[in-house]
A = this chain, B = another copy of it.
Protein backbone atom coordinates (compact mmCIF):
# COMPACT_ATOMS: atom_id res chain seq x y z
CA UNK A 1 0.00 0.00 0.00
CA UNK A 2 2.01 2.93 -1.35
CA UNK A 3 5.26 1.62 0.06
CA UNK A 4 7.48 3.77 -2.07
CA UNK A 5 11.11 2.83 -1.81
CA UNK A 6 13.36 5.78 -1.24
CA UNK A 7 16.97 6.10 -2.37
CA UNK A 8 19.78 6.58 0.11
CA UNK A 9 20.00 10.28 -0.75
CA UNK A 10 16.29 10.84 -0.36
CA UNK A 11 16.40 9.32 3.09
CA UNK A 12 19.44 11.43 3.99
CA UNK A 13 17.48 14.51 2.96
CA UNK A 14 14.42 13.40 4.91
CA UNK A 15 16.54 12.84 7.97
CA UNK A 16 18.15 16.22 7.51
CA UNK A 17 14.77 17.91 7.47
CA UNK A 18 13.59 15.94 10.48
CA UNK A 19 16.79 16.68 12.39
CA UNK A 20 16.20 20.38 11.81
CA UNK A 21 12.66 20.14 13.05
CA UNK A 22 13.85 18.24 16.09
CA UNK A 23 16.21 21.10 16.76
CA UNK A 24 13.14 23.28 16.94
CA UNK A 25 13.25 24.84 13.48
CA UNK A 26 9.78 25.41 12.15
CA UNK A 27 9.23 24.12 8.60
CA UNK A 28 8.68 27.60 7.19
CA UNK A 29 12.05 28.70 8.52
CA UNK A 30 14.04 25.80 7.09
CA UNK A 31 16.51 26.86 4.41
CA UNK A 32 17.76 24.67 1.59
CA UNK A 33 21.32 25.24 2.71
CA UNK A 34 20.39 24.03 6.21
CA UNK A 35 18.93 20.83 4.83
CA UNK A 36 22.01 20.29 2.67
CA UNK A 37 24.37 20.78 5.59
CA UNK A 38 22.32 18.64 7.93
CA UNK A 39 21.91 15.86 5.36
CA UNK A 40 25.52 16.18 4.27
CA UNK A 41 24.65 16.46 0.62
CA UNK A 42 25.17 19.24 -1.88
CA UNK A 43 22.44 21.80 -2.30
CA UNK A 44 22.00 20.70 -5.88
CA UNK A 45 21.38 17.12 -4.86
CA UNK A 46 18.17 18.17 -3.17
CA UNK A 47 16.94 19.38 -6.53
CA UNK A 48 17.95 16.12 -8.17
CA UNK A 49 15.38 14.37 -6.02
CA UNK A 50 12.75 17.01 -5.38
CA UNK A 51 11.42 19.77 -7.54
CA UNK A 52 11.41 22.40 -4.82
CA UNK A 53 12.27 23.00 -1.21
CA UNK A 54 8.61 22.74 -0.32
CA UNK A 55 8.32 19.33 -1.91
CA UNK A 56 11.39 18.09 -0.06
CA UNK A 57 10.05 19.28 3.28
CA UNK A 58 6.55 17.99 2.64
CA UNK A 59 7.80 14.56 1.67
CA UNK A 60 10.08 14.50 4.68
CA UNK A 61 7.17 15.26 6.98
CA UNK A 62 5.03 12.56 5.39
CA UNK A 63 7.90 10.09 5.62
CA UNK A 64 8.34 10.98 9.24
CA UNK A 65 4.68 10.61 10.05
CA UNK A 66 4.68 7.19 8.43
CA UNK A 67 7.64 6.10 10.50
CA UNK A 68 6.21 7.61 13.67
CA UNK A 69 2.89 5.89 13.17
CA UNK A 70 4.41 2.52 12.38
CA UNK A 71 6.71 2.78 15.35
CA UNK A 72 3.76 3.77 17.54
CA UNK A 73 1.78 0.83 16.19
CA UNK A 74 4.53 -1.63 17.13
CA UNK A 75 5.05 -0.18 20.55
CA UNK A 76 1.37 -0.21 21.30
CA UNK A 77 0.83 -3.77 20.07
CA UNK A 78 3.78 -4.84 22.20
CA UNK A 79 2.01 -3.66 25.31
CA UNK A 80 -0.55 -5.86 26.95
CA UNK A 81 -3.74 -4.40 28.28
CA UNK A 82 -5.97 -1.48 27.39
CA UNK A 83 -4.61 0.87 30.01
CA UNK A 84 -0.99 0.04 29.18
CA UNK A 85 -1.58 0.51 25.48
CA UNK A 86 -3.25 3.87 25.93
CA UNK A 87 -0.55 5.07 28.30
CA UNK A 88 1.99 4.03 25.65
CA UNK A 89 0.28 6.44 23.25
CA UNK A 90 0.59 9.17 25.83
CA UNK A 91 4.25 8.37 26.39
CA UNK A 92 4.78 8.62 22.66
CA UNK A 93 3.05 11.97 22.59
CA UNK A 94 5.25 13.18 25.42
CA UNK A 95 8.34 12.10 23.54
CA UNK A 96 7.12 13.90 20.46
CA UNK A 97 6.85 17.09 22.40
CA UNK A 98 10.35 16.63 23.78
CA UNK A 99 11.74 16.02 20.33
CA UNK A 100 9.88 19.03 18.94
CA UNK A 101 8.48 16.90 16.20
CA UNK A 102 4.80 17.19 16.61
CA UNK A 103 4.02 16.36 13.03
CA UNK A 104 2.29 13.31 14.33
CA UNK A 105 0.22 15.11 16.90
CA UNK A 106 -0.52 17.83 14.37
CA UNK A 107 -2.44 15.20 12.46
CA UNK A 108 -4.89 15.23 15.33
CA UNK A 109 -4.96 18.98 15.79
CA UNK A 110 -7.80 21.31 15.13
CA UNK A 111 -6.77 22.65 11.76
CA UNK A 112 -5.20 19.42 10.65
CA UNK A 113 -1.59 19.19 9.63
CA UNK A 114 -1.92 21.38 6.57
CA UNK A 115 -2.10 24.27 9.00
CA UNK A 116 1.27 23.16 10.20
CA UNK A 117 2.73 23.35 6.71
CA UNK A 118 0.50 24.65 3.99
CA UNK A 119 2.27 22.83 1.17
CA UNK A 120 1.21 19.52 2.70
CA UNK A 121 -2.29 20.07 1.44
CA UNK A 122 -0.95 18.87 -1.91
CA UNK A 123 -0.65 15.44 -0.34
CA UNK A 124 -4.18 15.02 0.87
CA UNK A 125 -4.22 11.43 -0.28
CA UNK A 126 -1.19 10.42 1.76
CA UNK A 127 -2.52 12.22 4.82
CA UNK A 128 -5.76 10.30 4.63
CA UNK A 129 -3.76 7.10 4.53
CA UNK A 130 -2.01 8.03 7.73
CA UNK A 131 -5.23 8.96 9.44
CA UNK A 132 -6.74 5.61 8.48
CA UNK A 133 -3.82 3.94 10.14
CA UNK A 134 -4.46 5.90 13.34
CA UNK A 135 -8.11 4.94 13.31
CA UNK A 136 -7.08 1.29 12.95
CA UNK A 137 -5.00 1.77 16.04
CA UNK A 138 -7.99 3.11 17.94
CA UNK A 139 -9.99 0.06 16.88
CA UNK A 140 -7.27 -2.22 18.12
CA UNK A 141 -7.30 -0.45 21.49
CA UNK A 142 -11.04 -0.55 21.74
CA UNK A 143 -11.09 -4.29 21.06
CA UNK A 144 -8.60 -4.83 23.83
CA UNK A 145 -10.60 -2.63 26.20
CA UNK A 146 -13.83 -4.42 25.43
CA UNK A 147 -12.26 -7.82 26.00
CA UNK A 148 -10.99 -6.63 29.35
CA UNK A 149 -14.42 -5.32 30.21
CA UNK A 150 -13.08 -1.80 30.79
CA UNK A 151 -15.05 -0.11 28.04
CA UNK A 152 -18.06 -0.87 25.98
CA UNK A 153 -18.18 -1.69 22.29
CA UNK A 154 -18.85 1.68 20.72
CA UNK A 155 -20.54 1.14 17.38
CA UNK A 156 -20.49 4.75 16.22
CA UNK A 157 -17.06 4.96 14.61
CA UNK A 158 -17.07 8.74 14.42
CA UNK A 159 -17.72 9.03 18.14
CA UNK A 160 -15.15 6.36 18.92
CA UNK A 161 -12.40 8.05 16.97
CA UNK A 162 -13.32 11.41 18.38
CA UNK A 163 -13.09 10.16 21.94
CA UNK A 164 -9.63 8.71 21.42
CA UNK A 165 -8.36 11.79 19.58
CA UNK A 166 -9.88 14.13 22.14
CA UNK A 167 -8.33 12.35 25.06
CA UNK A 168 -4.94 12.27 23.36
CA UNK A 169 -4.99 15.91 22.29
CA UNK A 170 -6.36 16.83 25.69
CA UNK A 171 -3.29 15.25 27.21
CA UNK A 172 -0.88 16.93 24.85
CA UNK A 173 -2.23 20.31 25.84
CA UNK A 174 -0.57 19.62 29.17
CA UNK A 175 2.70 20.51 27.43
CA UNK A 176 1.40 23.44 25.49
CA UNK A 177 0.14 25.03 28.66
CA UNK A 178 2.86 23.71 30.93
CA UNK A 179 3.27 26.98 32.79
CA UNK A 180 -0.33 26.65 33.87
CA UNK A 181 0.09 23.16 35.14
CA UNK A 182 3.02 23.54 37.45
CA UNK A 183 1.32 21.66 40.22
CA UNK A 184 0.24 18.80 37.99
CA UNK A 185 2.66 15.96 37.32
CA UNK A 186 2.81 14.28 33.97
CA UNK A 187 1.44 11.12 35.57
CA UNK A 188 -1.59 13.00 36.85
CA UNK A 189 -2.14 14.44 33.38
CA UNK A 190 -2.02 10.94 31.95
CA UNK A 191 -4.49 9.67 34.51
CA UNK A 192 -6.81 12.53 33.68
CA UNK A 193 -6.65 11.70 29.98
CA UNK A 194 -7.29 8.04 30.68
CA UNK A 195 -10.20 8.91 32.89
CA UNK A 196 -11.80 10.94 30.14
CA UNK A 197 -11.23 8.13 27.67
CA UNK A 198 -12.87 5.51 29.82
CA UNK A 199 -15.80 7.73 30.67
CA UNK A 200 -16.23 8.65 27.07
CA UNK A 201 -16.28 5.01 26.00
CA UNK A 202 -18.80 3.93 28.57
* Cα-based distance from A99 to B170 in the complex (angstroms): 24
**In whole angstroms, how far apart are the Cα atoms of A166 and B171 in the complex?**
8
- CA A195 to CA B154, docked complex, whole Å: 13
The secondary-structure label for the interface of chain A is: helix
Contact: B112 with A115, CB < 8 Å?
no
Known A166-B167, A177-B131, A193-B162: A111·B109 in contact at CB below 8 Å = yes
Minimum CB–CB distance from A72 to chain B (whole Å) comes to 15
A49-B113 Cα distance, complex, nearest whole Å: 33
What is the distance, in angstroms, from A164's C-beta to the closest C-beta of chain B?
9
A113 vs B173: C-alpha distance in the bound complex, in angstroms?
A: 11
Chain A residues with CB under 8 Å of chain B are 26, 28-29, 93, 97, 102, 105-106, 108-113, 115-116, 118, 124, 128, 131, 156, 158-159, 162-163, 165-167, 169-177, 179-181, 184, 188-189, 192-193, 195-196, 199-200, 202
